[in-house]
Amino acid sequence: MNEQIGRTGHVSLIGKPFIYRHIVSFEETNVVGNVYFARHVAWQGRCREMFLAQHAPSVIDDISHELRLVTITVNCNYFDEIYALDEIEITMHLSYIRRHRIGLDFDYSKVLAGRKVIVAHGFQEIGCMRKDRDGMSPIAPPKSLADALDQFAARNSQQQLHFPVGG
């Protein structure tokens, strides 16, 4: 198990994460110089896309046909600012699969004074849907997707950092 320490000092015991690394560009910042809050949500989407490309490429083909991965809920809690040229790491864990819904946790961290510090935490709930002539209907996640996500499941969800307070 990996151990991460958030700004509040909570220790999060988690299984292997999917990791997306990113260097912040100037175009991702606002006039004040910090990252505009909506970028965090965009990075969640980018992390999901890179996960599909690397671990479940057949799902991309399914999406071009009748599968739809619909974002039901998205949020992000911010603990510290991110600036242009900061190197950030976004880790994604499977929180749950319930019927047609998939919950994903995202931790955003950057290196400060030689240690990795969580600067934000996000969550998404995605619905697996099938598009047909009558609209869309819920379906179980494709097996290839469920199997790929299981590799990155949080193994100790009781201790996982969800929404820390403070900072």
Three-state secondary structure of the chain: CEEEECCCCCEEEECCCEEEEEECCHHHECCCCEECCHHHHHHHHHHHHHHHHHHCHHHHHHHCCCEEEEEEEEEEEECCCCECCCEEEEEEEEEEEECCEEEEEEEEEEEECCEEEEEEEEEEEEEEEEEECCEEEECCCCHHHHHHHHCCECCCCCCCCCCCCCC
Q: Which tens digit of pLDDT belongs to each residue from 16-53? A: 899 999 999 999 999 999 999 999 999 999 999 999 99
Q: What is the pLDDT of residue 14?
A: 55
Q: Which tens digit of pLDDT belongs to each residue from 71-116? A: 999 999 999 999 999 999 999 999 999 999 999 999 999 988 888 9
Residue 4: pLDDT band with limits 50, 70, 90: very low
